Amino acid sequence: MRLELINISDLKPHERFTEGRLRAVMGDLTRPGVLWYPILVDDKDLIILDGHHRVEAFKRMGFTKIRALLVDYSDPKIEVYPRRRDIPITKELIIETVGRGEIFPHKTTRHKWPGRTKKINESLEDFR
């Protein structure tokens, strides 16, 4: 696991986002003094595992970089759970789906990992 500033254009989403949640995230990010978590990204394929709304918010706000926790997705300590009964989820299915250029509906997966990084308190201007 390593914390890095990465180019948003290199990231690959595996889930859609919703406009309502996106507006809320954008509002939170523009408030002074807001602390937020880095996104979680597979270090091999650069698949976004957690943070789709934050990534889209940064894009729409004109940022080109975002702080990410890069992880080895094959690590058994990183777990994925389905959030929908109609879509069975595995790490392999996520990688295959993204590899085909497809993405899941919003809130399809839930990832859990040990040692969640503390919240970040950086000026948004650092990400332009």
Tell whether the model's pLDDT for residue 2 goes beyond 70.
yes
Tell me if residue 15 is catalytic. yes
| Residue 45 or 26, more confident | 45
CA 64, CA 14: separation in Å to the nearest integer? Answer: 19
CA 67, CA 81: separation in Å to the nearest integer? Answer: 24
What value does the mean pLDDT take over residues 4-27?
93
**Identity of residue 116:** R
Q: Is 115 left (phi over 0), alpha (psi -120 to 50) or beta?
A: left
pTM of the complete model: 0.87
How much is the mean pLDDT over the chain?
88
Class of domain 2-120: alpha beta
CA 35, CA 121: separation in Å to the nearest integer? Answer: 5
From the candidates 4, 15, 19, 56, which is the catalytic residue? 15
**Confidence category of residue 79, pLDDT binned at 50, 70, 90:** very high
| Residue 100 or 121, more confident | 100
CA 117, CA 108: separation in Å to the nearest integer? Answer: 23
